Amino acid sequence: MSSCYPLIAQEIADLEVAHRKTSVKRYADRLKTVYLPGKGWSVTQVAKSLMIDRETVRNHYKRYRKGGLSALQKFEVGGSKSFLNELQKQALDQHLHKNLYLTAKEIAHYVEQTWGISYSESG
């Protein structure tokens, strides 16, 4: 077991159950960022396997330690008011589930091309 990211048997079991029950990929990935280091994986191994930054792995573990499973389910991070209406947000969400973008800049370009909303307008 990793000394930096210890989990007790009950936590491991709870993470496994939550992972089996969820259909939300983003939440499932967050569960894995806590579960895998608890099973002895290094932060680097987890980051590479989930294609995320090492700091993201650390942040999810800290969030879990502070607020448990429910903290991993919260996706709000603050930020500014959205320039997309609800229909546009739903359409973007569906588009992102079907298409892989490697950077936020690529997503911003898609939004600009699709709805004429540019990042420079929001800044």
How far is residue 107's CA from residue 95's CA, in Å, rounded to a whole number? 10
Among 73, 90, 105, residue at a domain's last position:
73
pLDDT at residue 44 tops 50? yes
pLDDT given at position 78: 62
Question: In this structure, are 88 and 33 located in the same domain?
Answer: no
pTM: 0.61
114 inside domain: yes
Give percent of the chain with pLDDT exceeding 90.
76
Q: How many CA atoms lie within 13 A of 106 on its CB side?
A: 7
For residue 63 the two structure tokens come to 């969030």
pLDDT at residue 1 tops 50? no
Inter-CA distances, 64 with 28, 31, 61, 93, Å: 13, 9, 5, 25
How confident is the model over 99-115, as pLDDT tens digits? 999 888 899 999 999 99
How confident is the model over 46-69, as pLDDT tens digits? 999 999 999 999 999 999 999 999
**Other beta carbons less than 10 A from residue 33's beta carbon:** 26
Task: Give the CA-trace dihedral at 76, 79, 85, 88, to 10 degrees.
Answer: -70
How confident is the model over 73-109, as pLDDT tens digits? 988 666 677 889 999 999 999 999 999 998 888 999 9
Per the structure, the complete domain to which residue 98 belongs is given by 79-122
For residue 34 the two structure tokens come to 């806590």
